[in-house]
Amino acid sequence: MTAYPAPAKLNLFLHVVGRRADGYHLLQTLFRFLDFGDTVHIEPRPDGVIRLLNPLPGVPAEADLCWRAARLLQEHTGCRSGADIGLDKRLPMGGGLGGGSSDAATVLMALNRLWGLELPRAELQELGLRLGADVPVFVFGRSAFAEGVGEHLQAVSLAPASYVVLTPPVHVATGAIFSHPGLTRDTPAMKIPPLSEGCGHNDLEPVAVAAYPVIGEYLRWLDRFGDARMTGSGACVFAAFPDRKSAEAAFAQRPEGMKGFVADGLDVHPMYTAA
């Protein structure tokens, strides 16, 4: 089987700037990939069967994003090939790091090549949006300023940085955060895409911290090293450092039992040339 990377993402900021008539929220956010994530293993098969080799506990195949991505690609193209799919899961579920979305995007990009489909990147992004709002940016494959529900993407270049990412022991329900009556939904929209770290904030953070106080505890500890923020709808939090050495030095000071990792920012997805 061939191994394919599915990197984590950070939302360096996340603003909710409005709400559509269908209830979906309008966002502005800055995405950056990390050199840390899951690994997807794929082997094509000729019989059209999509088989998960190590299903996630408690998640039926039809709800698994890897399975759904492969099946969607089959249905969209009429492809009669199948695939065995395995997953080495390192990213926490409900952490705001885009794990499931990244896995699905990697499946789309890998099978597009393995099945000889040759769909253009834009078409894969459109398919990805049917699986989840974060899937298109992983197919897009670049650090990006995103608008709409996350599907309008503009590539940006960011300065090199390393990150301490902490993983509080809670699984945040994204839907509950977005539907919370206390969520700010009218942050003024930016006119010009941001080109550096440190701008903006995360509108979802106060709601998530109120619902899961441990997120606030992790933020307060990490904030001693700089501007600590939550990514996505949580629960993971992060802070940027100018280099790997300083990030690892800060991470080494964390209290016993506080889990996480250190990673470098990536401006280009490791599978960029596969899409």
Asked if 19 and 178 touch (Cβ cutoff 8 Å), the reply is no
**Sequence-distant contacts of 175-183: CB under 8 A, at least 24 apart:** 176/211, 177/204, 177/207, 177/208, 177/211, 177/233, 177/234, 178/25, 178/204, 178/233, 180/207, 180/211, 182/206, 182/207, 182/210, 183/16, 183/207
Asked if 136 and 102 touch (Cβ cutoff 8 Å), the reply is no
22 among known catalytic residues: no
134 among known catalytic residues: yes
Tell me which of 9, 38, 103, 203 is the catalytic residue.
9
Tell me which of 88, 134, 223, 243 is the catalytic residue.
134
* Residues with catalytic roles: 9, 134
